[in-house]
């Protein structure tokens, strides 16, 4: 199979841009929530009481850096394959 460097470059660009947009969204949402937070002095006791006595069991799952890198790689490969497939369809080769 002949490599099409244009599609490979587009796939690499898409694989880099998508995680950057994800993290930019997360940072922007965190900044917005921080700026709009107003503490309520009257109801603080209830929230502390809830945190001290009502413990939920389990764990919070967060993404590791390698999972994001793997997802970017998979998205890049998928984008490349779709572009090659669409280019082949336009030429009449399937």
pTM here is 0.46
> Can you tell me the distance from the alpha carbon of 87 to that of 10, in angstroms, rounded to the nearest whole number?
14
DSSP string, 21-35: HHHHHHHHHHHHHHH
Q: What letters, b where the CB count within 10 A reaches 16 and e where it falls short, cover 34-52?
A: eeeeeeeeeeeeeeeeeee
Locate the domains of the chain by residue range: 1-38+62-94
Tell me the pLDDT tens digit for each residue of 26-82. 899 889 888 887 777 666 666 665 556 655 665 556 667 778 788 888 888 888 888
Task: Give the Cα separation of 68 and 3 in Å (integer).
Answer: 26
pLDDT digits (tens, 9 = 90+) for 6-30: 877 888 888 888 888 888 988 998 8
Q: Cα(43)–Cα(69) distance, rounded to whole angstroms? A: 42
Q: Tokens 């709009």 identify what position? A: 36
């Amino acid at each position: 199979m002949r490599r099409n460097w244009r599609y490979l470059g587009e796939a690499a660009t898409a694989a880099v841009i998508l995680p950057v947009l994800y993290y930019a969204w997360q940072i922007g949402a965190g900044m917005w929530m921080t700026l709009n937070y107003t503490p309520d002095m009257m109801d603080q006791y209830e929230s502390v009481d809830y945190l001290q006595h009502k413990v939920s069991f389990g764990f919070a799952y967060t993404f590791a850096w390698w999972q994001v890198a793997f997802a970017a790689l998979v998205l890049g490969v998928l984008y490349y394959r779709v572009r090659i497939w669409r280019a082949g369809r336009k030429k009449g080769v399937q």
